[in-house]
Homo-oligomer: A and B are copies of this chain.
């Protein structure tokens, strides 16, 4: 039976997107965000929503760039920590030991230890309410060679972190393969 649970912001699953930016002083910062996803194939774009209260919000507006870095399950504590503390008072890269490296295409750092990194130029932003949605044009994707299969990032190798939403409020791994996509031409 269907129960009304009110207008909750719940989807299953939510990604864990670690957004990395430079401040005006050149200092790298990062924060995890789960309000986001790909939003256009051509031009290739990704959307990420952030609160004005975050340092990342202001860094993106100043630098017009950000990267989206996919944390593997082995780094769940580092990704989680980056959402608990503020870049205004803590150097999150120093405290986590993660390494900011220069992007080729945009003015934002990549996180070296995370195997999948999207370099994004700010395309536009929209104030929705508590959150502002930033749309980034994906200028390039960097991936660790060891997570590629036939030149494509392989989710069985990137082992991404998933956030289970407010219910469990826990992180999960990817599970078993269910079946191939875009193949079902008949059900019965």
A residues touching B (Cβ–Cβ < 8 Å)? 1-15, 17, 34-47, 49, 68, 70, 73, 76-78, 80-81, 83-85, 95-97, 101, 104, 110, 112, 116-118, 123-124, 126, 128-131, 133, 135, 137-145, 148-156, 158, 160-188
Contact = CB atoms under 8 A, between A and B. Distances in A.
A184 B104 contact: no
A8 to B, nearest CB: 5
Contacts of A168: 149, 154-156, 177
Given A3-B148, A117-B2, A145-B3, A68 B38 contact: no
A38 B11 contact: yes
Given A39-B133, A45-B128, A10 B153 contact: yes
B39 A148 contact: no
B174 A129 contact: no
Nearest to A172: B174
Given A40-B133, A153-B165, 19 more contacts: A4-B140, A5-B142, A7-B140, A8-B141, A9-B44, A10-B116, A12-B70, A12-B116, A12-B160, A13-B160, A35-B39, A80-B181, A81-B185, A81-B186, A85-B185, A156-B168, A171-B177, A173-B178, A175-B176
How many identical chains are in the complex?
A: 2
Given A14-B38, A167-B149, A178-B170, A183 B80 contact: yes
A127 B63 CA distance: 24
